[in-house]
Amino acid sequence: MPYTKIKSISLIVIGLLVFFSADSQNIRDSAKNELTASVNYQSKLHYLGRTDSLKSSGLFPVIGLKSKTGFYLNSTFIFIQNAATPLNYTGTILEGGYRFPYSKNFSGNIYYDHFLYQDKSVLVQSALKGQAGVNIIYNNKIVNVNVGGDIKFSNGQTDFGLTAGLDKLFLFRNIINNAVLAVNPSAYIYSGTHTYFKNVKKNNGLPLLANNSSSIEQAKQFTILSYEVSAPMVLVKGKFNAYISPAYVMPQNLVTVNSRPDLSERGSDLFYFSAGVGVRL
Say whether pLDDT at 121 is over 90: no
* Rounded-to-10 torsion of CA 16, 21, 24, 26: -110
> CB-based contacts of 153: which residues, under 8 Å, 6+ apart?
128, 129, 130, 131
Residue type at position 40: N
Confidence of residue 206 (pLDDT cuts 50, 70, 90): very low
Compute the half-sphere exposure of residue 132: CA atoms within 13 Å on the CB side of its CA: 3
Burial 17-49 (b: 16+ CB within 10 A, else e): bebeeeeeeeeeebbeebebebebbbbbbbbbb
Task: Read off the pLDDT of each residue in 43-58 and give the average, rounded to a whole number.
Answer: 85
- What residues are paired with 223 via a beta bridge? 192
* Per-domain boundaries in the chain: 2-280
Q: Which residue has the higher pLDDT, 258 or 145?
A: 145
Distance in angstroms (rounded) separating the CA atoms of residues 9 and 231:
10
Q: Note the pLDDT of residue 135.
A: 92
Provide the 10 A C-beta neighbour count for residue 260: 12
Q: Where are the beta strands (DSSP E) in the chain?
A: 34-42, 57-66, 71-81, 88-99, 106-117, 128-138, 144-154, 157-167, 170-172, 180-183, 186-192, 223-230, 233-237, 240-251, 270-280
Specify the pTM: 0.85
- What residues are paired with 234 via a beta bridge? 182, 243
Distance in angstroms (rounded) separating the CA atoms of residues 64 and 130:
18
Compute the half-sphere exposure of residue 45: CA atoms within 13 Å on the CB side of its CA: 23
Distance in angstroms (rounded) separating the CA atoms of residues 39 and 62:
6
CATH topology for the 2-280 domain: Porin (2.40.160)
| pLDDT per position as a tens digit, 158-179 | 999 999 999 998 888 888 888 8
Distance in angstroms (rounded) separating the CA atoms of residues 251 and 49:
5
Say whether pLDDT at 264 is over 80: no
Task: Read off the pLDDT of each residue in 95-107 and give the average, rounded to a whole number.
Answer: 87
Task: Read off the pLDDT of each residue in 64-70 and give the average, rounded to a whole number.
Answer: 92
Task: Read off the pLDDT of each residue in 213-230 and give the average, rounded to a whole number.
Answer: 83
Yes or no: say if 243 and 235 are a contact pair by the CB < 8 Å rule: yes
Q: Note the pLDDT of residue 122.
A: 58
